[in-house]
Amino acid sequence: MEHHDDDFERFYAAAFGRIAGQLFVVTGDLQEAEDVTQEAFARASVRWSRLRTYDLPEAWVRRVALRLATDRFRQARRRLAALRRLNPEPRVPGVSVEALALAEELRALPLAWRKAIVLHHLVGMPVEEAARTLGVPPGTVKTWLARGRRALAARLGDEQGAVRRD
């Protein structure tokens, strides 16, 4: 049992920051990113005897964290809709543009486009792997990437494309 614990602790220490950083770019909220990453690792820990045999157990944790972030995003959207019915002008706290410039621009995009851009451009996943991670066909990821790049280019005032095209 000790070997199992040490092995998982090494995996956790090596991958937590990387996955939380990727989820931060998707969510735009560091606490949310750390929370969903922590939950994904908790789920991985109880399945570690099986997951440790995977070629890329980190991909499993990332996929679970992305699903959790999506679920939380949907719940928050429902809560916001309910709050708007009660108070039509919600107050939004200011955000440091310097520290969160990319995250702020990405937050304007639909969640699916954000996830595709983070996985492909920031994590460096090939389109096919991003498609498997997101549970959609590769053509869908390509469409999300193209639309996301166009939207970012328009937001950033770059007619040539804000993000490198592959």
Residue 81 pLDDT class (50, 70, 90 cuts): confident
| Tens of pLDDT, residues 96-134 | 443 356 677 777 889 899 889 888 888 888 999 999 989
> Does the domain spanning 97-166 belong to CATH 1.10.10.10?
yes
Q: How far apart are CA 75 and CA 81, in angstroms?
A: 10
Helix 97-107, helix 138-156: angle, nearest 10: 130
| Tens of pLDDT, residues 55-76 | 899 999 999 999 999 988 888 7
Residue with the larger pLDDT of the pair 92 and 79: 79
- Indicate whether 160 pLDDT > 90: no
| Tens of pLDDT, residues 14-29 | 999 999 999 998 888 8
What pTM value is reported for the model?
0.56
Do 23 and 73 contact (CB within 8 A), yes or no? no
Do 92 and 103 contact (CB within 8 A), yes or no? no
The H-or-E segment that residue 62 falls in is helix 57-86
